[in-house]
A and B are shown apart, each in its own frame.
Chain A
Amino acid sequence: MGWLEYSRFATPSRDIVAIPRQAEECMGADKSYSVLVVDDEPDVVTYLTTLLEDHGYRTRSAGDADSAISEMRARTPDLICVDIMMPRRSGLSLYHQVKTDPGLKDIPIIVVSAFSRLEDFTGHRFRRLFPDESVPEPTDFIEKPVNVEHFLETVERALSAGGQ
């Protein structure tokens, strides 16, 4: 079955409907925020960056924690979306490093993970992972697979809160 046949079956589902023809429909050029997507899965990176770019954001990406750090040192993003489970260094370790770095700690971070117990990253459970009181809880969480509308809303909310 070629992709054209396939596309007949892939009818728009609940969260894959909103694809604006022009990015500007959603975001004015003046509100072109930059988002850094950190995930070891190339498909996830492609998905989220495409989605964000379609909605007027500028994006950059990194496949692991160390290259994410160099990316954000080179140019500070307005928002970071980070996966938790990654090879070599986990997203939690990256989170800790960013939140304890004076130059980076104010960048809002959204955790995007397939990990189902996201409540483990709030309240006293979060404190157990990060006993260091100066490390704040993440701005928000998104569970994979993402709901497109919810994801875009969360990104927007995180950016407007961060911009205040």
Chain B
Amino acid sequence: MTPHKKKISEWLHAHLFHQVPVDIAVIDSSYRIIEANQTFERHYGEWRGRHCYQVYKGKQDRCEDCGAAETFSDGRVQLREEEGVSKDGRKVYYMVHIAPLRDPEEEIRYVIEMSTDVTRMHLLQEQLRETEREKLEAERLAAVGQTVAGLAHGIKNVLMGLEGGMYVLRSGIQKQDQRRIERGWQMLDGNVSRITTFVREFLDFARGREPHVQLIDPNEPARQVYVLFKDAAAKTGVSLELDLQEQLREAPMDGEGIHTCLANLVSNAVDACLMSTRARGRVVLSTREEDGTLFYEVEDDGMGMDCEVKQKLFTSFFSTKPSGEGTGLGLLVTRRIVQEHGGQVAIESTEGRGSTFRLEFPRDRLPAISPPES
């Protein structure tokens, strides 16, 4: 090596090795650090004569899952995320590349570890996860609030009927009008049984059920709902079709809950077809996965919805079905189950042309599998 080249090499060693903003340490087969750069020393303190686990992590014994040991044994370069302690006692997260240093006989004598502090990134990620959890919780609370508002709406309607019945009955008695008395009594009677049904259904809804999350074939609930509804739909002149994307990967879901959602949507879709002016209706139940999100779709060519109906869909016990035929709970239940799965309900609808209800479940928001029942 010419003196000039030697000088460059020394300069490189002095500057590049010590000044790069990466912590570099060379470790021998007894896990002792035999060389480290200044950046490393600045972050982890004195290293001379000490073991890597003492310096990186403040431990007295070798780590159980030791990256250096792996590289010594298989010679492979690794990239891993580790948790350590800086010289001032702060918890740090670092990404570390571990590479073998071989002697001329190809023996791995040392490993070199180059690490970068990613603590800030790690904390941001944690925050993001926390925010995501809070968002889910907020969505759940919002659903509860809307449900309560919906309950109030439903009860007010029944109260109106009861008060009306009392007025008609009372005025009938005063006027000695038998027809009016009968009508008033009928109104009271009807609204009492209406509130009984309503309360029973609402209790079922409020009690809900603990979602039982298992790894299931996402297509299974769709198949079951199809079998359940196809004959009944056909009898009313509506053809129910099933369009599944085959071989969807299993997903942690509450199969019974998804079944309830799809049954509600299919039943609504069939009703929408019946209320349309066309003679025959068509409902398609489909599944697919795109970019890590599972989709269930129920599409009908029924009456469709105007924009006010769309706005009110989930805000109350809102039903466009003639009174007595729908409590407006179906979509609320559906939305609650979907939200318990971290998903959402999307709606596309054109008045007079039909509607599509889409359940969207991003896989990374699906719930954890329920513990086995004791």
Chain A residues in contact with chain B, CB under 8 A?
A: 3, 6-7, 10, 12-13, 15-16, 19, 21, 40-44, 46-48, 50-51, 54, 85-90, 92-93, 114-116, 129, 143-146, 148
A87 contacts B308, C-beta separation under 8 Å: no
Given A41-B157, A144-B157, 10 further pairs, Cβ under 8 A: A3-B184, A6-B188, A15-B163, A19-B174, A85-B312, A85-B320, A88-B275, A93-B308, A115-B153, A145-B159
With both beta carbons as reference points, the residue of chain B lying nearest to A114 in the complex is identified as B156
Residues 148-182 of chain B, each 1 if its beta carbon lies under 8 Å from chain A, else 0: 01001110110111111111111101110000110
Find chain A residues with CB under 8 A from B160 CB: 41, 43-44, 47, 114, 144-146
Q: Tell me the bound Cα distance from A12 to B188 in angstroms.
A: 16
Which of chain B's residues have a CB closer than 8 A to the CB of A54?
171
Report the separation of the CA atoms of residues A139 and B80 in the bound assembly, to the nearest whole angstrom.
69
A89 CB to nearest chain B CB (Å):
7
Which of B174, B188, B312, B320 lies in contact with A87, CB distance below 8 A?
B320
B371 sits at the interface (CB 8 A): no
CB distance from B370 to the nearest CB of A (A): 37
Q: Is the CB of B153 within 8 A of A116?
A: yes
For A50, list chain B residues within 8 Å (CB): 164, 167-168, 171, 180
Question: Across the two chains, which residue of chain B brings its CB closest to A48?
Answer: B164
Q: Does B110 contact A (CB under 8 A)?
A: no
Residues of A near B318 (CB, < 8 A) are: 85
How would you classify the secondary structure of chain A's contact residues: helix, strand, loop or mixed? loop
**Do B171 and A19 touch (CB < 8 A)?**
yes
Q: Are B159 and A144 within 8 A (Cβ)?
A: yes
A98: min CB distance to chain B, Å: 15
Query: What A residues does B188 contact at CB under 8 A?
Result: 6
Known contacts: A46-B164, A46-B168. The answer to whether A87 contacts B156 by CB under 8 A is no
Check B320–A43 contact: CB distance below 8 A: no
Instruction: Write the residues of chain B forming the contact surface with A, with a CB cutoff of 8 angstroms.
Output: 149, 152-154, 156-157, 159-171, 173-175, 180-181, 183-185, 187-188, 190-191, 275, 303, 306, 308-309, 312, 316, 318-323
- Which residues of chain A come closer than 8 Å to B323, judged between CB atoms? 40-42
- Candidate in B162, B163, B190, B306 with the most chain A CB atoms within 10 angstroms: B163
Closest to A19 in B: B171
Query: Are B309 and A16 interface neighbours, CB within 8 A?
Result: no
Residues of A within 8 A of B161 (CB): 41, 43-44, 47
* Known A-B contacts A19-B174, A40-B323, A43-B191; A115 and B167 likewise in contact (beta carbons under 8 Å): no
Known interface pairs A7-B169, A114-B153, A115-B316; A43-B164 also in contact (CB < 8 Å) = yes
- In the bound assembly, the distance between CA atoms of A92 and B165 in angstroms comes to 27
User: What would 29 A/B residue contacts be, using CB atoms closer than 8 Å?
Assistant: A3-B181, A3-B184, A3-B185, A7-B169, A7-B170, A12-B170, A40-B322, A41-B160, A41-B161, A43-B165, A44-B157, A44-B161, A47-B163, A47-B165, A47-B167, A50-B167, A51-B167, A85-B316, A85-B318, A88-B303, A90-B309, A92-B308, A116-B152, A116-B156, A144-B157, A144-B160, A145-B159, A145-B163, A146-B160
Closest B residue to A13 by CB, please name it.
B166
Q: Closest CB-CB distance, A97 to chain B, in whole Å?
A: 12
A87 B322 Cβ-Cβ under 8 A: yes
Q: B308 and A90: CB pair below 8 A?
A: yes
What separation, in Å, do the CA atoms of A47 and B180 have in the docked complex? 11
- Given A21-B174, A115-B153: A47 and B164 within 8 A (CB)? yes
Q: How many angstroms from the CA of A43 to the CA of B323 in the assembled complex? A: 10
Q: Are B316 and A47 in contact (CB under 8 A)?
A: no
In the complex formed, the residue of A with least CB distance to B318 is A85
Docked Cα-Cα span, A27 to B111, in Å, equals 102
Q: How far in angstroms is the closest Cβ of chain A from B3?
A: 81
Instruction: Sort A-B residue pairs by CB-CB distance and give the 3 closest, nearest first.
Output: A47-B164, A114-B156, A43-B161
Nearest A residue (CB) for B157: A114
Give the chain B neighbours of A7 by CB distance below 8 A.
Answer: 169-170, 173
Q: In the bound complex, what is the Cα–Cα distance between A93 and B311 (angstroms)?
A: 13
CB distance from A52 to the nearest CB of B (A): 11
Docked Cα-Cα span, A20 to B15, in Å, equals 103
Q: Is the CB of A43 within 8 A of B190?
A: yes
Cα distance A80–B159 in the bound complex, in angstroms = 22
A118 nearest CB across to chain B (Å): 12
Contacts of B191 in A (CB 8 A): 43
Query: What chain A residues lie within 8 Å of B180 (beta carbons)?
Result: 50
